[in-house]
Structure 1
Amino acid sequence: MITMTKTKQLTLIQAITDGMRTMLQEKEEVVILGEDVGKNGGVFRATEGLQEEFGEKRVFDTPLSEAGIIGSSIGMAMNGLLPIAEIQFLGFIYPAYEQIMTQATRMRYRTKGVFTVPLVIRAPYGAGVRAPEIHSDSMEALFTHMPGIKVVCPSNPYDAKGLLIAAIQDPDPVLFMEPLRLYRSVRDEVPEEKYEIEIGSGKYLREGEDVTVIAWGAMVNVAIKAAEQAEEKGITCDIIDLRTLYPIDKDIIAESVQKTGCCVIVHEAPATGGLGNDIISILNDTSFLYMKSPIERVTGADVHVPFWALEEHNIPTPKRVLEAIHKVTNF
């Protein structure tokens, strides 16, 4: 007898809610805390209805203090709970950086494995929604340079639920980055049941022969649109969604580029110090002799995310990615 998996059409934000609900139902240790996550359901309604369903002891509001939210969550995690801490925007996380860097990521090392910190930090990030200053920052590289924490960034609803469930069950802290511009702009078939996606595993979204395009989060759709336009000119692309930024899937990166010989990396964070530089280092270590052309990066500029009128000029576009694809394939 074949058992059919029931699915439902969900947006990315709905899939995140579904993942949290799944784990709240399964494990009494799971708690959710953050600013306005209770009665109001969070600034983007990711926790809508969860306090009513599971009670104020498991889904509760905190003062407006990111350092306090993370500091409290570390204590909870060290004492048997599985906290999911919401930071309203990634750009608001800076006051909590010290708690993450000096406490959450080091506790396993500091105590020789006696304590771990199974903490998930949810943080919407990225531009393209015309938010005010600090709300649109894309500073993932601050955390990929931080040993002891995993950094996850889904690009679609199916991956969002599976990766979030895996993150909640991980024994170490996980920064779960949620691309703002994808919250309600994409839908996907998402299983109703519990499932996990392995943290640290990238994914091929398209397969081609001529160039590898590497992206994550909201930039995945930008890369796909550029690849579709390149195909009209006879250029086929491997599109890789990293999904996890740390630990990064070095194998899928090397495998693809060793096949195509050309590579374009797309991210909306500033170019200097961005994760694209680490990917180039990986390719220098693993695939240098396979390269047919220099690697191209399509990134945000080395500026703060501009105000509304200029925001779109800073974010990588399909046109810019397509130009990079033509550049590496015509070298």
Structure 2
Amino acid sequence: MRWKGRRQSSNVEDRRGRSGSGGSFPGGFGRSGGRIRLPMGGGRRAGGGLSGIIVLVVLFFALRACGIDPLEMLAGGPGGSNQTTTTQGQGTSGASDEMKQFVSVVLAETEDTWNGIFESQGLDYKEPAMVLFTDSVRSACGFASAATGPFYCPGDQKVYLDLGFFDQLSRRFEASGDFAQAYVVAHEVGHHVQNVTGILPRFNQMRQRMSQAEANAMSIRVELQADCFAGIWAHYTAQKGLLEDGDIEEALNAANQIGDDTLQRRTQGYVVPESFNHGTSQQRRTWFARGLKSGRLADCDTFNEPI
């Protein structure tokens, strides 16, 4: 990816080198405490409760066009944080840290993409912040350790990332390359888009009444849509001429390597489909590629189409 010399986001909070005090979450990967994260470790078709969820996106834009803020109706809980600007922390490597610069550029590129999409509907995009941390961190969703992997917290509308994850992505999961790393960031930002358009609040509300199997099945659809949204970002990044040979293959390989089935084969030697909550490798590749090809939100409706 041709990223050097491009704008870096100001919405980056560097907490590296600080203690997260308070411990970590057991169990490794998946979903817990409201956090939406990449797994590090097809479910059965979900019921009809969210079958029309893509309509929420349309309704969101329609309400905003009428001067009504749907976020006030959908927030629920501690999710009303307006903190999208940075408070600069003292990172362990300082402002010259190349990896920090890279993720700051990627975040800026997602801002440009989603600002443009929202502006085309006459709306403002509330940009998420990104928190860089080491080992463990406190968020509005609770404490988390680096072992949980990158995650998005709807409660404070921030993406949390321990940069050491990228080394694991390359060495442990055999998904190397800067665009594989960019895909990780874009996926978590995809969850933010789901949050501000009402999809995540609706899912979090409904899963309280679901069995674990039902919640897993619906979680897959949520995760695949975030993959598709990451593909939309890649679509517009390609249009800017920022992609280099092999970049798309890096992202597709990353999507493949963190599929539930691939992860389970690697970590336990067998697959338990009913425990999937992010999607198979094939599903993750397919939905990223779909967003990449079209660049259209309407083509990311994982709730009304077979996955």
TM-score (norm 1): 0.29
| More helix as a share of residues | 2
Larger Cα-atom Rg: 1
| More strand as a share of residues | 1
